[in-house]
Amino acid sequence: MRYRLDYAKELNPAQLEAVRTLWGPVLVIAGAGSGKTRTLVYRVARLVEEGVPPERILLLTFTRKAAREMLRRAALILDEQCERVAGGTFHSLAHIMLRQYGHLVGYSRNFTVLDRGDAEDAINLLRTALGLAEKRRRFPRKETIAAIFSKAINKRLSLEEVVREEYPHFLEELEELAKLFEHYVRYKQEHQLMDYDDLLVNWFRVLKSFPEVRREVGRRFEFIMVDEYQDTNALQAEIVRLMAEEHGNVMVVGDDSQSIYAFRGANFKNILEFPKLFPHTKIIKLEENYRSTQPILDLANAVIEHAREKYTKCLFTRREGGRLPLLYKARDEADQSRFVAERILELREEGVPLREIAVLFRSAYHSFDLELELAKRNLPFVKHGGLKLIETAHIKDVVAHLRLLLNPFDMLAWNRVLLLIEGVGPKTSGKIMDYLRQSPDPLAALTGFPARASYAEGLRQLSDLLVSLRKEASPEEKLNQLYRYYEPIFTRIYYDDYPKRAKDLEQLLAIANKYETLEDFLADLALEPPEASVAEVEGLENEDEKLVLSTVHSAKGLEWHSVFVISLAEGRFPSSYALGREEEIEEERRLFYVAVTRAKENLFLTYPATYYAPAEGRIFSKPSRFLEEVKEKIEEWRPQDLSFWEEEAVEEPSSGFRPGELVWHPVFGEGKVKRMADIDKVVVQFASAGEKTLHLKFARLERL
């Protein structure tokens, strides 16, 4: 057969073998930057060239964006047929399949997907109902309970095993937890709700218990590919096994040294166990790195060299030259931010586009200081990771109304919606819900509730709204109408900061207009939550000309010309949260490995000698242990001109107040500045009012 693409020319021998092996199970162990994505893209093209209908190919990836991107690339090199390949995350696939097969496990096609916050709300509701919230000081908080439940599901362990292993201090509560779990499962079942884990569990149950579905699905997806296999969990591995049972045509691709999702139940050993799940698996290793320069790879290899676990490969490159990774030891966060901003400006001078530069950090809030600095210098950026739009209270309020239109038995949404009405509290809300539950059409039944005069009007308005929203209209129109209803409520409950929150509502509206149906809109909101952050500085001319700020987790699979990894201090990276247990430190180390292997040409590492910790204020820090381990692979940044330090040392803090200065405040009168408490906060000792911490953004402080 003649192919339109010259595979042998485009791929190295290992990649080529992976692309040409179409039948049977294949495990590809692909080091960072070894052309893993390229291999998958070419394999999709190859399958299509072989005449496999694109709908018969399934590509499972970690985010839906990743799937879209790969299929777009396949379409680019071959033809647009490739875009018809089925692609997405395990969760989005399960969601689609359960709309079709959910009835087999007791779900109608309009079930609601709960995000983590909704799940916690439900758990909280049940916990209170079971009387587990009272005086029992020792009972875990809702977040912890949700985490325990989720771990058990994803790792396929019993509650007891999870508690014993990771939460031994709650062992006494095991019985109560088990009872709560039972109630939680039943509650979701009864109200047509599924949390993230249920999507996987129920899809698994369908596959497991219904061989005919298994066969049907096997015929539908004749070739399965799974990317980032090191970040799948036991349940997902089972799902793959069942879906591929019919034909065994499954290729999984991953890198055990890049596994960074153990916290949500992922198990990198899945990779090593894959050949046991599928006998006669062909194993292919991709070890040649095409991304980074040798000095960067040397550093990466040294990082992973210190890992407890011995990983399976060693990266090499044929690229020559390249600069040593640079370490800058900053005095504090402000200094760190200044350093980063200056280097970015220099890089831009050298012709590196902003979108080819990324700043990576362990936790979303680590970039706050830098964001201020970038805004000050008019450097446009986008930020990935951190707070999701959907996690804010006002967006949840709005979405709850929409959820009712699809699933009128979604009592979680009812509760939220009812509590917004003035005069309705938990008690009344409960009574109304008991009433609605009895009705076959709760939306229409709302007017029939014998309401007390104090809130009758509010209830009537809600009822009118819901009935009217139910009529044919685009998600965007529905949302517009909803906003008219919500506005007075919105300004009442968020009176202190609703202007800020209003921006989110606008953003939601902008997202909604991309959707034809409410169903798709809501499903995507839950399965692919849009990020909350809006860049502070909009790009002046080109939208794409933005610097990238990202958590390391959100940077997985991506690469940039120049990468900064900031806040490499003990407690920050590795996170203080991980300091206790060895496995967690190991995961932090892999996370650092992922961070450094994102860089193609330049890698800058920074460490602030002091930083602000939420509870303790300014603290002195130690350099990250990961830096100490690989010292000899790094060059320390030395300012050419020493006076640079001295100048900086006496420079005023950006707000302009210095200890000892006399100031005047309109309420507290005269005072003396003690110190800066933060970039925009100052501690002042007042003659009359004592010591106060003032927010410079609000306080009208004048120099005397």
CA–CA gap between residue 112 and residue 193 (Å, rounded): 5
Write out the two tokens for 470: 């139910």
Near DNA by CB under 7 A, which window of 136-144, 170-178, 249-257, 511-519? 136-144
**Cis ω before 426 (30° cut-off from 0):** no
Cα dihedral 218→222→225→229 (10° resolution): 20
Q: Which window, 363-371, 509-517, 655-663, 666-674, contacts DNA (CB under 7 A)?
A: 363-371
Minimum gap (Å) between residue 59 Cβ and DNA: 14
Does 613 help bind DNA (rule: CB under 7 A)? Answer: yes
Q: Work out how close the CB of 606 gets to DNA at its nearest, in angstroms, rounded to a whole number.
A: 18
> Which position has the token pair 């018969």?
56
**DSSP bridge partners of 606:** 328
Query: Which 8-state DSSP code applies to residue 652?
Result: P
Q: Which is nearer to DNA, 291 or 388 (CB)?
A: 388
Residue with smaller CB distance to DNA, 140 or 322: 140
| Distance in Å, CB of 133 to DNA, minimum | 5
Say if residues 102 and 202 touch (Cβ distance below 8 Å).
yes
What CA–CA distances, in Å, run from 599 to 14, 203, 255, 533, 605? 23, 38, 17, 24, 11
Please, what is the minimum distance in Å from the beta carbon of residue 470 to DNA?
A: 26
State which residue, 19 or 360, has the beta carbon closest to DNA: 360
CB of 154 to DNA, least distance (A): 8
| Rounded CA separation 244/215 (Å) | 9
Identified binder of DNA from the candidate list 365, 449, 483, 498, rule CB under 7 A: 365
Contacts with 520 (C-beta within 8 Å, 6 or more apart), sequence order: none
| Residue nearer to DNA on the CB measure, 248 or 529 | 529
- Restricting to residues 367-396, which ones interact with DNA according to CB under 7 A? 384-386, 388
Contact pattern from residue 66 through residue 95 relative to DNA, giving x for each residue in contact according to CB under 7 A and a dash for the rest: -----------------------xxxx---
Question: Hey, how many other C-beta atoms are within 10 angstroms of the C-beta on 222?
Answer: 17
Q: Name the residue nearer to DNA (CB basis): 453 or 540.
A: 453
Contact between 598 and DNA per CB under 7 A:
no
Question: Residues 646, 667: contact at Cβ < 8 Å?
Answer: no
Q: Is 616 in the site for DNA (CB under 7 A)?
A: yes
Does position 557 interact with DNA (CB under 7 A)? The reply is no
9 vs 137 by CB, closer to DNA: 137
Least CB distance to DNA at residue 630 (A): 21
| Phi, psi dihedrals of residue 681, rounded to the nearest 5° | -130, 145
697 binds DNA (CB under 7 A): no
Q: Is 97 or 578 the residue whose CB approaches DNA more closely? A: 578
Q: Shortest gap between Cβ of 264 and DNA (angstroms)? A: 4
CB 610 within 8 A of CB 660: no
In angstroms, the CA 590 to CA 279 distance is 29
Look at residues 17, 1, 607, 66 and name the one whose alpha carbon lies nearest to residue 384.
66
Contacts of 500 (CB under 8 A, 6+ apart): none
Beta carbons within 10 angstroms of residue 691's beta carbon: 10
Between 164 and 264, name the residue whose CB sits nearer to DNA: 264
Give the dihedral sign, CA 53/56/61/63. Answer: positive
Return phi, psi of residue 8, to 5°: -65, -30
Query: Would you say 90 or 607 has its CB closer to DNA?
Result: 90
Candidates 265, 358, 316; CA nearest to 587 is: 265
Q: Site residues for DNA, window 188-207 (CB under 7 A)?
A: 196
The region of 99-107, 211-219, 373-381, 427-435 touching DNA under the rule CB under 7 A is: 427-435
Site for DNA contains 167 (CB under 7 A): no
Supply the DSSP string of 81-94, one letter for each residue: GGGGSEEE-HHHHH
| Interaction pattern, residues 428-457, with DNA; x per rule: CB under 7 A | xx----------------------------
Binding test (CB under 7 A) with DNA, winner from 62, 107, 592, 593: 62
**Residues 6+ away with beta carbon under 8 Å from 192:** 107, 108, 110, 111, 112, 407, 409, 410
Minimum gap (Å) between residue 307 Cβ and DNA: 17
Q: What is the 3-state secondary structure (H, E, C) of 368-404?
A: HHHHHHHHHCCCCEEEECCCEHHHCHHHHHHHHHHHH
| Residue 426 interacts with DNA (CB under 7 A): yes or no | yes
Q: Which stretch binds DNA (CB under 7 A): 222-230, 468-476, 598-606, 608-616?
A: 608-616
Interface with DNA in residues 516-555 (CB under 7 A): 527-529, 551, 553-554
- Rounded CA-CA distance 700/623 in Å is 38
Nearer to DNA, 15 or 621 (CB): 621
Q: Does residue 350 bind DNA (CB under 7 A)?
A: no
Among 226, 271, 364, 446, which residue sits at the site for DNA (rule: CB under 7 A)? 364
Q: Give the shortest CB-123-to-DNA separation in angstroms.
A: 11
Q: Indicate whether 137 belongs to the interface with DNA (CB under 7 A).
A: yes
Number of H helices, E strands in the chain: 27, 22
Q: Is 488 in the site for DNA (CB under 7 A)?
A: no
Half-sphere exposure of 619 (CA within 13 A, CB side): 13
Q: Which is nearer to DNA, 248 or 458 (CB)?
A: 458
Using rule CB under 7 A, residue 617 touches DNA: yes
Candidates 255-263, 321-329, 345-353, 627-635; binding stretch for DNA (CB under 7 A): 255-263
**Residue 264 binds to DNA (criterion: CB under 7 A):** yes
Contact positions with DNA (CB under 7 A) in 141-160: 141-143
Residue 417 binds DNA (CB under 7 A): no
The amino acid present at 43, given as its one-letter code, is R
Edge-to-edge order in the sheet of strand 560-565? 381-384, 547-551, 357-361, 560-565, 599-608, 326-330, 635-636
Using CB under 7 A, count the residues that bind DNA: 53
Contact 298, 325 (CB under 8 A): no
Contact track, DNA, 92-131, x by CB under 7 A? x----------------------xx-------x-------
Of 276 and 698, nearer to DNA (C-beta) is: 698
Contact footprint for DNA (CB under 7 A): 62-63, 89-92, 115-116, 124, 133-135, 137, 141-143, 196, 260-261, 263-264, 362-365, 384-386, 388, 422-429, 527-529, 551, 553-554, 575, 577-578, 613-617, 677, 693
